[in-house]
Amino acid sequence: MTPALPANGHKQAQHIDARRRHHILVFVSYITSLVMFFYGVRSLNQDSLLLPLILFATGGCFLLNVLLYHLSQQLNRACIIEALLVGTFVLSLVYQGGHNNTALYWVFPFPAILFGLLGVRHALASNALLLLVLGIMLFTPDLILAEYKEAESSRFLASLVIVIIVCWINDHYRERSHAAMEQLQQSKELQANTDPLTGLANRRFLDSSLIPALEQQSDELLPLAVIMCDLDHFKQLNDQYGHDVGDEVLKAVATVFKQNIRQQDIACRFGGEEFLLILPHTNTTDAHLVAEKIRLQLSKERLNAAAPDYQLTASLGVATCNKTTAFYDAVKMADQQLYQAKHQGRNQVCG
């Protein structure tokens, strides 16, 4: 069957995105808290202590959140907490008014920060909610301490909507661009790891995808059985009927494999008329039963109308792998069992 490739490109994209969010989180936590402490100290000589309280408390929470992130490495949780702190700070500052009623000026960087921390969908919803609450606060003066002119409030909200839309467009198409590049990369990997004639995995798949998967997900794959299969007297078929008929037979054999193995199993064209079947979580006894089932199926089939009298048979060798480092040893053992089957008369399973 067609190989299920590990999403290497997807994992790399996720790693890059995680690094981006990491840097935004660290920057916002350290730089923004530093700015808040600076203005918090400057505002201590005011009559009201509410503004310095907001600034010191928010700055301290930012630092505590980034400290917990460094200890736990829970990036998603830290970004969500940071976004909640950002929203709380914006609403608190607009409620109080800031120094000389300048709170509205400090709101504009935060929509972009939410997009950076949360991703497009969640950030758009968060910004929309923040915009709604700000609108209610600004046009219901009795709810807040600060006094804003109606014209100032309406212009602020209009400008904030523009900022949010621009941030959404930028991040939306950035994500689409990355998704398109990732899909292209996966398509290239799939082509490079697939035999063009049969649609099965090729030998390159083993090194580029299977071995890394064994190293990373050994518990999900081991014990792993391998079946080496070689078509008997295939050269005679090519000599008698031509390579075009031989190619059609190879494609028909690939179909037989797909029909007789599980979804999680992998059929690989190892070279010429030789195939390797890879069966995760399978012992030798069960692998032998699968190999015998395939042998019988191949011997019963008439695989090409242009060669109706040709009866195809196959010899198969079976081995198992119980360690991630022993895969090629198992392949070598299955190959030896295959030659034993050839030596004993062909059209049989050894192992």
Most confident of 113-122, 151-160, 314-323: 314-323
pLDDT digits (tens, 9 = 90+) for 233-280: 888 888 888 888 889 899 999 999 999 998 888 899 998 899 999 999
What per-residue confidence (pLDDT) applies to 98?
A: 83
- The residue that leads in pLDDT, 326 or 6, is 326
Start-to-end Cα distance in the chain: 23
In the chain, where are the structural domains located?
8-184, 203-350
Is pLDDT at 179 greater than 70 in this prediction? no
pLDDT in tens, 23-37: 999 998 999 899 889
What are the CA-CA distances from residue 247 to residues 34, 230, 234, 252, 305 (Å)? 70, 15, 11, 9, 13
245-258, pLDDT tens digit by residue?
889 899 999 999 99
Grade residue 184 by pLDDT with cuts at 50, 70 and 90: very low
pLDDT digits (tens, 9 = 90+) for 296-319: 999 887 766 566 677 889 999 999
DSSP string, 136-174: HHHT-GGG-SS---HHHHHHHHHHHHHHHHHHHHHHHHH
Residue 187 has pLDDT above 70, yes or no: no
**Residue 246 in tokens:** 């031989």
Q: Which residue bears the tokens 């992130």?
A: 69
Q: Is the dihedral of CA 70, 76, 79, 80 positive or negative?
A: negative
- Rounded to the nearest integer, the mean pLDDT of the chain is 85
Share of the chain above pLDDT 90, in %: 40
Residue 209 has what DSSP assignment? I
* pTM above threshold 0.75: no
| For range 129-153, the mean pLDDT | 87
Is the confidence at residue 63, as pLDDT, over 90?
yes
**When comparing pLDDT for 307 and 48, which is higher?**
48
For position 189, what pLDDT does the model report?
57
Sheet holding 274-280: strands in order across? Answer: 266-271, 274-280, 224-231, 314-321, 349-350
pLDDT of residue 100: 80
- Say what the pLDDT of residue 186 is: 52
148, 154, 156, 157: CA torsion to nearest 10: 120
Strands (E) located in the chain = 224-231, 266-271, 274-280, 314-321, 349-350
The architecture in CATH of the region 203-350 reads 2-Layer Sandwich (3.30)
Give me the pLDDT at residue 181, please.
47
Report pLDDT for 315: 96
Distance CA 31, CA 26 (A): 8
Asked whether the predicted pLDDT for residue 75 surpasses 70, the reply is yes
- Report the pLDDT averaged over residues 217-230: 88
The catalytic residue positions are 273
pLDDT of 4 reads 45
| Paired strand residues for 319 | 226
Residue listed under structure tokens 């309406």: 154
